[in-house]
Amino acid sequence: MTQMMQVAIRTAPLLRVENLAKSFRLHNLGGMEVHGFSHINFDLDRGKLLALIGPSGSGKSSILKTIYRTYIPSNGRVLFTSNGLKTDLAVCSESEVLSLRKNRIGFVTQFLKVLPRISAVDSVAAPLIDMGEGEKKAREQGRELLNFLGIREQLFDISPLTFSGGEQQRVNIARGVIAPKELLLLDEPTASLDQTAAGKVLELLLKLKSANTAMIAIFHDLAKVQQVADHICDLTKERSQ
* 14-23: pLDDT as tens digits: 999 999 999 9
Query: Measured between alpha carbons, how far is 156 from 68 in angstroms, rounded to an integer?
Result: 30
- pLDDT higher than threshold 70 for residue 8: no
Of the listed ranges 9-18, 175-184, 213-222, the one predicted with least confidence? 9-18
pLDDT confidence bin for 7, thresholds 50/70/90: very low
In this predicted structure, what is the pLDDT of residue 34? 84
pLDDT beyond 50 at 215: yes
Instruction: List b or e across 188-225, with b for residues whose CB sees 16 or more CB atoms inside 10 angstroms.
Output: bbbeebeeebbebbbebbeebbeeebbbbbbbeeeebb
Whether residue 240 is predicted with pLDDT greater than 80 in this model: the reply is no
When pLDDT is averaged across residues 9-28 and rounded to a whole number, the result is: 85
Neighbours of 166 (CB within 10 A): 15
Q: Please report which confidence band the pLDDT of residue 10 belongs to, taking 50, 70 and 90 as the band edges.
A: low
Q: How many residues does the chain have?
A: 241
Model confidence band, residue 141 (pLDDT cutoffs 50, 70, 90): very high
Secondary structure (3-state) at 8: coil
Average pLDDT for residues 182-196, to the nearest whole number? 94
Output the CA angle 182-195-113, nearest 5 degrees.
50
- pLDDT in the model for residue 1: 41
Structure confidence at residue 46 (pLDDT): 97
Looking at the predicted structure, is the pLDDT value of residue 139 above 90? yes
Residue 3 has pLDDT above 60, yes or no: no
140: confidence class by pLDDT, cuts 50, 70, 90 = very high
Question: How confident is the model at residue 30, as a pLDDT?
Answer: 64
- Per DSSP, the residues of 173-227 read HHHHHSS--SEEEESSTTTT--HHHHHHHHHHHHHHHHTT-EEEEE-S-HHHHHH
Return d(Cα 51, Cα 237) in angstroms, integer.
Answer: 14
3-state secondary structure of 99: helix
Q: Is the pLDDT of residue 2 over 50?
A: no
Give the C-alpha separation, 122 to 10, whole Å.
Answer: 42
Q: CA–CA separation, 209 vs 68, rounded Å?
A: 20
Which pLDDT tens digit goes with each residue over 53-67? Answer: 999 888 999 999 999
Q: What is the pTM of this model?
A: 0.90
Across the range 192-214, mean pLDDT stands at 95
Mean pLDDT of 46-51: 98
